[in-house]
Structure 1
Amino acid sequence: MATFEEASLEYHKARNKFDTNGKIGTLITKPCDTVAELAMAYSPGVAYPCLEIEKEIDTAYDYTNKGNLVAVISDGTAVLGLGDIGHLAGKPVMEGKCVLFKSFAKVDAVDIELNVHDTESIIATVAAIADTFGGINLEDIAAPQCFEIEERLKEICNVPVFHDDQHGTAVITTAGLINALEMSGKKAEDLKVVVIGAGASGIACATMYKALGVKNITMLDSKGVIHSGRTDLNKQKQMFAFETADRTPEDACKDADMILGLSGPEQITQDMVRSMAPNPIIFACANPTPEIMPDLAKAVRDDLIIGTGRSDFANQVNNVLGFPFIFRGALDVRATKITENMKMAASRALAALAKEPVPEYVAKAHNRTDMTFGRDYVIPSPFDKRLMESVSLAVATAAIEDGVARVKNFDLEAYKAKLREMANNG
């Protein structure tokens, strides 16, 4: 029997020497089988939509694939758990991201690997090509560079720019936190939250928790607690520095209501779990080995909600719950950006979906019979076909509310029905 590594390598290669390697290709959406169709697909017929776009640039959404096209762009400096492996070595991951866009939300995506690494070159390159696409998904760009790149591109580009490594985990864990608060009867403003890992995702998660109302957030990096006495902090970490006597993870986790792990294996001990407040929440997101295994955490607490990044445990924190449907909603209203309100709308939609009865096909996919709202189900399954309808609709609605949608007089009820049809027929 082939090992998983061997099977994966074989999966990515062509089945025979005449097939295409990799995971994605091009789908032609209009016929080109006759002389008349060829004349419309290219010369001379193609001139007419060109002239219409020249007169009004937004008609590119009407005559090209721009409105359903996302660029997945990376420089290969922070690829999954592999680190700085280079732009082409990261290409299988970016192709995989394109597969997820298409599989889960029917969004066409193209991977673009940049062989440049300085901030200005990346910004200039992405800005120069952005108008070709309906949205830009930045991926696997190292912190702290990624913060400035995204922020400046959001100001420059006329389409949504979204760094999923930052915001994806934030959207999903915020959804879980919303449901955990409801179950425990706690209020966001009363929580003590500990974030272990101060990279792009940790900063984005903490920022989103603050938007939810959390006031007390202790963040740790590889040197320990981020506090106001440290002089080695970048601009993003400085936002979470405050005066505290805590210096170690053990100090920080005492009486904590929530621990978010975005670091590495075995960073959360059973003693740290024991020291937490009643009805605690742990999202241990390191992959493939989380900061603490669920069975170890549950062995010392029976009032615990725990999630990981793994599909073989309950409450999986999986970014595929977010980015395909966030872009789906943004694309469909021709949004110019993804706002904080749109991200929070996605979180609230995910939280609400977890409280709905779970379809039989979802439970079967997980081989579980206990998938009802509770400690082991505060985050919905990525196999739930209702995700597109609930999350994309919420994002599109928020875009309209925020005034970033180009589409006017958008029929949300008709859109809801269309999303349901797309999900069920996909």
Structure 2
Amino acid sequence: MDYAKESLRLHAQWQGKLDIQPKMQITNRDDLSLTYTPGVAAPCLEIQKDPQKSYTLTGRGNTVAVITDGTAVLGLGDIGPEAGMPVMEGKCVLFKEFGGVNAIPLCIRSKDTEEIVNTIALLAGSFGGINLEDIAAPRCFEIEKRLKEVCDIPVFHDDQHGTAIVVASALLNALKVVNKPMGSVRIVINGAGSAGCAIAKLLLDMHFGEVLLVDKAGILNIHSALTSGQQRILAITKCERQGTLADAMKDADVFIGVSAPHIVSQEMVRSMKAGAVVFPMANPIPEIMPDEALAAGAAVVGTGRSDFPNQINNVLAFPGIFKGALAVQASDINEEMKIAAAYGIASLIQEEELNKEYIIPSALDKRVADAVAEAVMQAARESGVARK
């Protein structure tokens, strides 16, 4: 199928992928009076007395805002907020289809951090959670940080944390396949933007082992010119190593790529330790093609693509994370909830099922959202951010 041609035809036919369907019908005067005035005054006054009742007397408790400024849309870059709308609508469809969560796309006509933060903060009372999407680094770090400080609902940048959670879940199972214990591995992450930094942070929090962060200039160390996101990682790793990507990959156990096509050679993979795990996730063309990585000695390979085994796809994470967070009216999505989500995804594959081509559930596996939601709810309660 020519996906581009067929998608364009269908988008023109659909005129958007979302619709609004009321939960009631208005067929007589009583229906009108209950749905709107005068009956609607009663729930309004209840919410005035206790704003938390907005979670049970309106749709807020199961509604997420999917928000972008259009500056980093998929692999298309800064295409603007209007052009980002098809992606935001698509994300909303995934929220509903996989998690049963209502989602509204909002595209902001600003690249100013202060304006974006203020806009979202002012709208937060209408939603149970905020999913930030396709906002360029390093601005995305500051926007998320600021919103977490001023909002009393979960704020989650999926490009960062959704990616990190699914990578962590895949790596949990990949290490079982290659029989390497947690805490013993050296991990190279190529691409030090929003996704790379979030992956590094989560893998460090989960104590997988040593992490080296690499960008176009080479191995990042404490003497490099760093973004705020990179500074947070180097403050943990204290890395002083220098060198190229090839230097970093020598004797590494794991390679994770969130960078650019064809920048990893077979020689680089051969230089890794036996039982190497290689996740080249640049889309649509990975850092090294899976067949090339396997031929060079990689034991387990996963990509972001659906036409190869072990697709590392964010849809495994965000629907269940928000489903769980909304169910307990969480005030935040914290590290404990992210770690729980990663273990929840990984746990769906029994140890006897694990093999080099099956380390992570399919993106279409309908069990995933419920498993993630259960794990997230428990972690939210145990970490004190659940309000229900």
The answer, yes or no, to whether TM exceeds 0.5 is: yes
Give the aligned partner of residue 354 of structure 1. 349
Query: 1:293 is matched with which residue?
Result: 289
Q: Secondary structure at the match of 1:216?
A: strand
Segments of 4+ moved more than 6 angstroms = none
**Are residues 45 and 243 of structure 1, via their aligned partners in 2, closer, same or farther at CA, if it must alter by over 3 Å?**
closer
1:270 aligns with 2:266: yes
User: 1:319-338 maps to which residues of 2 (within 5 A)?
Assistant: 319-338=314-333
Residue 38 of structure 2 corresponds to 44
Please provide the CA RMSD for this pair: 1.4
Give the secondary-structure state (helix, strand or coil) at the position aligned to 1:72.
strand
Q: Which residue in the other structure is 1:81 paired with?
A: 75
Given residue 379 of structure 1, which amino acid in structure 2 is its aligned partner?
Answer: I
Partner of 2:227: 234
C-alpha distance in 2 between matches for 1:269 and 1:337:
41
For 1:163, the aligned partner's letter is H
* 1:395 is the counterpart of 2:388: no
Post-superposition offset of 1:239: 3.6
Query: SS in structure 2 opposite 1:189?
Result: coil
**Shift of the alpha carbon at 1:135?**
0.4
1:417 maps to what in 2?
none
Gaps of 5+ in 1: 15-19, 358-371, 408-426
Corresponding position of 1:254:
250
Contact 1:175 1:348 in 2 (8 A): yes
- Unpaired stretches in structure 2, ≥5 consecutive residues: none
Query: What's the counterpart of residue 304 of structure 1?
Result: 299
Out of 277, 280, 303, the residue aligned to residue 284 of structure 1 is 280
Match of 1:385 among 360, 366, 370: 366
| Cα distance, 1:243 vs structure 2 | 4.6
2:233 and 2:126 mapped to 1: Cα distance?
37
Tell me if structure 1 keeps the 8 A contact 2:220–2:239: no
Percent identical residues: 48
| 1:232-279 Cα deviation digits (max 9, x unpaired) | 222222344445444111100000000000001112110011010111
| TM-score, scaled relative to structure 1 | 0.88
Distance 2:58 2:218 in 1: 51
Is the alpha carbon distance of 1:380 and 1:13 closer, same or farther for their aligned partners in structure 2, counting shifts above 3 Å?
A: same
Report Cα offsets for 1:171-230 as digits up to 9, x if no partner: 001001111222333233221110000010000000000011134211111222112332
Moved more, 23-32 or 93-102: 23-32
Determine which of 160, 163, 174 is the counterpart of 1:166.
Answer: 160
TM-score, normalised relative to structure 2: 0.96
| Code of the aligned partner of 2:56 | D
Given the superposition, is the C-alpha separation of residues 50 and 243 from structure 1 closer, same or farther in structure 2, using an over 3 Å criterion?
closer
Alignment of 1:180-219 (within 5 A): 180-219=174-213
Q: 1:335, 1:171 → 2: CA distance?
A: 18
Structure 1 counterpart of 2:223, one-letter code: G
Kept in 2, the 8 Å contact 1:226–1:240? The answer is: no
1:392 partner amino acid: A
Q: Which amino acid aligns with 1:112?
A: L
Which residue of structure 2 aligns with residue 363 of structure 1? none
Determine whether 1:53 maps to 2:34: no
